[in-house]
Amino acid sequence: MLPPPPRHFRPRASAAAASWGVGAAVATATAAASAAAAPCRLWRRGPWPSSAAGRGSPAASASWRIRWCCTRWGRAASSSTSSRTGASSSQVVPTPTPAPARATAHPDPSPPAGTEKTRGVQAMAISPDRRYLAAAETAGDQPVLTVYDLSSVPARRRRTLSATELPERVAVALAFSPDCQYLAAATAPPEGHLTYWLWEKQRLMAAVRLEAPGSSVCQVSFSPQDNAQVCFTGNGFFKLFKYSEGTLKQMNLEKGMPQNYLCHTWLSEEEVICGTDTGKLILFETGDLLWETSVEYRKPHRELEKDATTTEYERFSVCSSVDNSSQQDSLPQISAIAAYSKGFACSSSPGIVLLFEKTRGKELYKESQEIWLPKDRFSNDPEKSGRQNIICICFSPSEETMVVNTHKNQLYVFTMFTTDFMKERIAYFKYLTFPLHSASITGLDICVWKSILATCSLDRSVRIWNYQTNTLELYKEYREEAHTVSLHPTGLFCLVGFSDKLRFISLLYEDMHVFKELAVMNCRECSFSSRGHLFAAVNGNVIEIYSSITFQNINNLKGHSGKIHSVKWSADDTKFISCDTHGAVYEWNLSTGERETDCVLKSCRYSSIDLSSDAKVIFAVGSDQTLKEISESSIQHEVPAFGVVYTAVAVSHSGHMVFVGTSLGTIRAMKYPLPLTADFNEYQAHAGAVTKMSITNDDQFLLTASEDGSIFIWKVYEKGGEVVKWQKEAEYAEEVLIMRSDIKEKSQAMLDLQIRVKELQTENYYQLSLKDMYYNEKIKELEDNFTQEISSLKTKHQNLQAEKENQERQHQLQVSELMNKQAREMQKLESDSNQKLLMENEKYQELDEKSQKMQEEYEKQLHSLEESKSKAVKELTEYYEEKLNEKSVLLKETEEDMRRQFRAHEEIEKQIYEDEDQEIMEIKIKYEQQLWEEKESNMQLKGEIGVMNKRLNSLQKELKERNRYIAEIKLAQQKLQHFIKSLEDDILSLKKEIQERTNTVQDKEKHIYDLKKKNQELEKCRFVLDHRIVELKKLIEARGNDIKIMKKQIYEMEGELERFHKESTQLKLNITQLQQKLKATDNEMHRERQKKHNMEALLKRFKADLHNCAGFIQEPQKLKNGIRELYTKYVQESDLEEIEIAQKDLQPECMRQREYLERNLAALKKKLVKNQETHRGAYMHIMQENMSLIKEINDLRQELKAALTQLRHLKSTLKLTKKREAIQDIAPRSEPLPSPAVLRLNAEKENEKIIEMQQLEIQYLRNQIQEKGQSTPVEPLLAGNLPELNLEGSHKTQQQ
């Protein structure tokens, strides 16, 4: 049984909605994963778990199963490895978690399985329709280029591309064509190749060899509108190729000095912009240089201010070596570039993205905005945290958001503003979720009282996560690397082992406070006891036991000869186990400090151990590729790893399952007792070796950490899909530590902010009154201008009316003359036409007499022919019955063919539905944006033009009435002319009809014979068509059920859309609040600068006066008087006191006011969230009622259509039965009739009418079948649009 596909992880606390699946083809897999705009996409590399022992394996009946909790914290996997699978009792499948709404039309595809024995993914590319994924790998020693189908669930391998005529080298850049039919792959120089594939047919269409100096980053891409154009850039080359006649022909000629092109993107069908390592942006049009500009190295504005305020001494005291290094760092280079509808975005310096928009001047593109990475206030060096190199930029399909990926594997998001007036010159990114680990994770531990886990990494950070809410609760960076971490059972304290000391840290509400430092150098392992009263710390080869209350060293456990890699406490704290790199596993007695039991295997370097719940069995893994079960000082059982090194082990508290992590990043689940064969399930998650594993006390979550910097949370389920039940439900504590000084500061800040709010209210009131005065004056000026315009328009209106009256008089005279002429012509035409009609009437009477005589003669001939025809009909019926039997056999064969074709049609139809849904969503997003922009522009134009339209409407109405009157007269004249022409045409048509009737009388005999034959054939066809219609009804019912299922899915997607809109409104509110804060800080800065300028002016004056006083040095009396004057002029006691008081009160007041405002904002946000939750239920209830009413209306419409179709069929059957009864009444009469010739003529006419009715009915049925056949392959069948055919009446008439 294969698991369902994994979902994207989206943390609940994240404000950024990952609503779009952005894809970009980049050189490395980490960049591609970040370009997918999902912070924690589960890139799994191995195949899905399968049973090696088969379905009949006894392990398949075990009662445990693991599911993915859809949670990953850390870097995206950048390589893929093979995995061995076994028939164990556990399976890893994803579990949906509550998350922000997504605007997607399809469920997330499962991650594709990599190639076996692969050494990593070198390049990836996603097709423009997000349906296919291409990956370049190295399996063994051979390169592999694979295309996966992401639309199927689970994702499957679609094609594997290879060519014997090419050298075996791995592709470093891939790209799909706009229609997803072709794939371009490039290998790195020197001796690089560009290959052009028709990948569906696994055909190499063309290949080009490229020789370039050295190896560098290459990029390949298709033109957005042309499948045949390919761009290939790298160090020293920019080449445009076009595919034609089986070869790739170069379109451009390289001119000038060669550049090192780091990246490029297409701006249009002919324009390509490239970025170089010297900070140049070069725009090419059809391969020729069109525009070039250089981007300067940018520094954050805070750094610029610091540079400006440095003294001369500081400038010249810097060493020359530092200057050289800073010059190298300050060289700009375009590391990433991406295009969007208005222009493009590029990164020229660390931590910045520049937006360029198209202009109409000489400068084709102009810089419009700077977007900086934010500084991390928890970082050890906040300046460096905002100076990360951006390696990838991508936009969402709707261009509402931009996501960037940095070299430290962090993801940032920025919301794009659609209007220019909302833009700011300088803006800042936000974390897509929260800051992630950027290096290998060295420590992981969980807590008993709280649902939190602690991790530490070589990136010098310690983080506290919540594995139930999927959020980062605390985070702090230190100056030293952290090697190990352990959480106290209460969750209020933690131990962190650094390279210099072991620190006992208090976990506060918003910070980590170092409470105690212990002199344990280079501590690699530490652990709190189960009850928390003791903790162990590894100091070299010695394990030191401390009291967590008094911090006294209680005992030292000596005896290990190698480095200690893992320690473990028993549940009751009576036993303590440790292992080292020399193959020793010891069990210690804490009271005496001596070993109780030991097990030594020198050939193995142990890396991890764990204890069973009863502390009788030790599970250990190490370098010898086995899992060992140790008890009573000996190895009782060994499980081989089958070519993989085990790095971590964890045992469930129930004792039924054992989980093992490997060096390839896979996790294996085994049942206990341990199996001898490959009886386990293996799941791929991490891209590096698993370093730490731990399972929660209730056995519901398994936590794993890896060298790739990622953390996975796995949820454990029973075999039936139910959550593992514990004896008692876990109740977690909610207490938090906080410093008393923090409480005092926050309370004082609240008071200061209240005072500040009152002052701001008075200022706002005064500014509003000033604005009212200003706008009232503007209104008066506008009223005066409009009155002048109205008077001028009135004079124009009077002049136009006078001209209108003159034109009306002239028009009336012309109309009267035309009417008189027309009356005269009509009289002449009437007299001529009357004479012609009399002549034609006489001719018609003569021809009528001749036709009657001819009819009598033909009736006699028809009677003789009927007798001969009856004999021939009998012979034909026997002949056609034989043919019917033959065709019935053929019909059965055709039915089987139809079934096969129908299955193929269903598969094609599914693919068409999926493609249509994706196209509809993309078109919908585009047109919604266009509508919103056009509505805004229309509202502005309506306000300006509305007044002028009202004045012009009155004049236009009068002109329209005059034009209508003229048009009516012209129409009347044309009608009379047409009437005269029609009379002449009628006369000619009457002559033609007389000639045609003579011909039809001769041909009627032939028609009667042919019609009778056709009647018999049509009856047979109708029987076949009735059978087909019944089959089509069954198909319609089945498709109606599919349509209902699709409607339910659409309803769920609409609910997700509503959630997304609500979150977007919340984000807009946050943005406005932050903008207000920025404005307030800007005003304060301006005031301070003015004060600074005033003080500088005072200083200049004081210096000038001092210079004057210095001239009286030899005259003491004058010097004394001058100093007194300076004192009286510049020094006042009150000023000094005010300055001292102001300097003391300014800084704390500002801090208090800011904190108070932030508190108020947080409270308002909580109220907003509560109000939204209360109203959500009411909205859902109303939506459900509306849906039920719409369904009832649709059902009633369907019933009406069915009733109407039944009425039509009943009427047709009634007419047929009446006509047949009339024929039967006439046929059996044996009495002599007074006029036999006339009766025969009536019977023939009735037969002709019956045949015509049957032909019409058959044609109607054929049209319905053709319409159904045309509608099925293109559009989904709706039950409400298809009428129900009731053919019972037609069957009854056939039986009669």
Q: Give 180-232 as a DSSP string.
A: SSEEEEEEPSSSEEEEEEEGGGTEEEEEEEE--SS----EEEE-SS-TTEEEE
Cβ atoms of residues 122 and 136 within 8 Å: yes
Is the pLDDT at 309 greater than 80? The verdict is: no
Q: Tell me the three state secondary structure of residue 785.
A: helix
Question: 1001 — phi, psi (to 5°)?
Answer: -65, -35
Cα(297)–Cα(307) distance, rounded to whole angstroms? 15
CA-wise closest residue to 687 among 72, 78, 40, 6 = 78
pLDDT in tens, 587-616: 998 888 888 889 998 889 999 999 988 888
CA-wise closest residue to 237 among 251, 218, 224 = 218
Cα(245)–Cα(252) distance, rounded to whole angstroms? 18
Please give the average per-residue pLDDT across 95-121, as a whole number.
48
Cβ atoms of residues 409 and 75 within 8 Å: yes
Quick one: CA dihedral 605, 610, 611, 612, positive or negative?
Answer: negative
Cβ neighbours for 886, distance < 8 A, ≥ 6 positions apart: none
The token pair that represents 792 in the structure block:
């001028």
Is the pLDDT at 432 greater than 60? The verdict is: yes
Residue with tokens 């070869």: 247
pLDDT of residue 329: 54
Q: Residue 178: how many CB atoms within 10 A of its CB?
A: 16
Residue with tokens 């099925």: 1272
Note the residue count of the chain.
1296
DSSP state, 997?
Answer: H
CA-wise closest residue to 910 among 1044, 1039, 1035 = 1039
Cα(608)–Cα(649) distance, rounded to whole angstroms? 6
| Residues above pLDDT 70, as percent of the chain | 80
Question: 872 — phi, psi (to 5°)?
Answer: -65, -30
Question: Minimum mean pLDDT among 209-213, 271-275, 814-818, 1143-1147: which range?
Answer: 1143-1147
Residues paired with residue 1127 on neighbouring β-strands, in sequence order = none
DSSP collapsed to 3 states, 958-977: HHHHHHHHHHHHHHHHHHHH
The token pair that represents 1214 in the structure block:
């009634």
Cβ atoms of residues 732 and 450 within 8 Å: yes
Residue with tokens 């010297």: 278
Residues paired with residue 288 on neighbouring β-strands, in sequence order = 285
Cα(1143)–Cα(1123) distance, rounded to whole angstroms? 27
Question: Minimum mean pLDDT among 20-24, 301-305, 562-566: which range?
Answer: 20-24
Q: Strand runs (DSSP E) across 519-645, as ranges?
A: 526-528, 534-539, 542-547, 553-557, 564-569, 576-580, 584-589, 594-600, 606-611, 618-622, 626-631, 634-640
pLDDT in tens, 637-668: 888 888 889 999 999 988 888 999 998 888 99
Question: Minimum mean pLDDT among 272-276, 504-508, 817-821: which range?
Answer: 817-821
Q: Residue 375: how many CB atoms within 10 A of its CB?
A: 17
pLDDT of residue 505: 94
Angle at 791 between CA 788 and CA 796, to 5 degrees: 130
pLDDT of residue 102: 28
Cα(612)–Cα(619) distance, rounded to whole angstroms? 8
Burial 745-782 (b: 16+ CB within 10 A, else e): eeebbbebbeebeeeeeeeeeeeeeeeeeeeeeeeeee
CA trace torsion 293, 297, 302, 304 (10° rounding) = -100
DSSP state, 451?
Answer: S
Please give the average per-residue pLDDT across 869-895, as a whole number.
80
Q: Tell me the three state secondary structure of residue 478.
A: coil
pLDDT of residue 1225: 58
Cβ neighbours for 231, distance < 8 A, ≥ 6 positions apart: 220, 221, 222, 223, 238, 239, 240, 241, 264, 266, 272
Is the pLDDT at 58 greater than 50? The verdict is: no
Is the pLDDT at 52 greater than 50? The verdict is: no
Banded pLDDT at 766 (limits 50, 70, 90): confident
Cβ atoms of residues 382 and 375 within 8 Å: yes
Higher pLDDT, 923 or 1271: 923
Burial 711-735 (b: 16+ CB within 10 A, else e): bbbbbbbeeeeeebeeeeeeeeeee
Cα(525)–Cα(442) distance, rounded to whole angstroms? 10
Banded pLDDT at 1289 (limits 50, 70, 90): very low
Banded pLDDT at 1140 (limits 50, 70, 90): low
The token pair that represents 925 in the structure block:
């997003």
Cα(364)–Cα(362) distance, rounded to whole angstroms? 6
Is the pLDDT at 27 greater than 60? The verdict is: no
Question: 679 — phi, psi (to 5°)?
Answer: -100, 70
CA-wise closest residue to 644 among 6, 64, 50, 46 = 46
CA-wise closest residue to 441 among 622, 704, 78, 714 = 704
pLDDT of residue 483: 92
Please give the average per-residue pLDDT across 1255-1273, as a whole number.
67
CA-wise closest residue to 520 among 489, 483, 549 = 483
pLDDT of residue 847: 83
pLDDT of residue 1276: 39
Tell me the average pLDDT of the chain: 78
Cβ neighbours for 245, distance < 8 A, ≥ 6 positions apart: none
